[in-house]
């Protein structure tokens, strides 16, 4: 009998990619942003600390304007710190 190859794991989104996707949803007022924040809460908290917690809390309270501004600020910081 032939052995089946183990499935290749799907790479997890980087925190930066996750943040960019979340911000895109927030800017459109997409309610799926809430599910995304719940599903990826731990990644956001690990990557962004208190600012990540504030972002998630804003999304969970449907304060998408505040969450969008926070996400935009975090993205700006992250891209400013990225090596050239």
Please give the pLDDT value at position 78: 82
pLDDT confidence band for 64 (50 / 70 / 90): very high
pLDDT digits (tens, 9 = 90+) for 3-59: 565 555 555 578 999 999 999 999 999 999 999 999 999 999 999 999 999 999 999
Task: Judge whether 41 and 59 are in contact, CB under 8 Å.
Answer: no
Check residue 80 and give its pLDDT.
83
């Amino acid at each position: 009998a032939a052995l089946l190859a183990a499935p290749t794991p799907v790479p997890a989104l980087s925190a930066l990619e996750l943040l960019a996707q979340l911000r895109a949803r927030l800017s459109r007022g997409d309610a799926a942003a809430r599910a995304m924040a719940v599903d990826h809460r731990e990644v956001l908290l690990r990557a962004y600390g208190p600012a990540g917690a504030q972002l998630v809390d804003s999304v969970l309270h449907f304060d998408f304007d505040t969450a969008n501004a926070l996400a935009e600020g975090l993205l700006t910081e992250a891209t400013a710190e990225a090596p050239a």
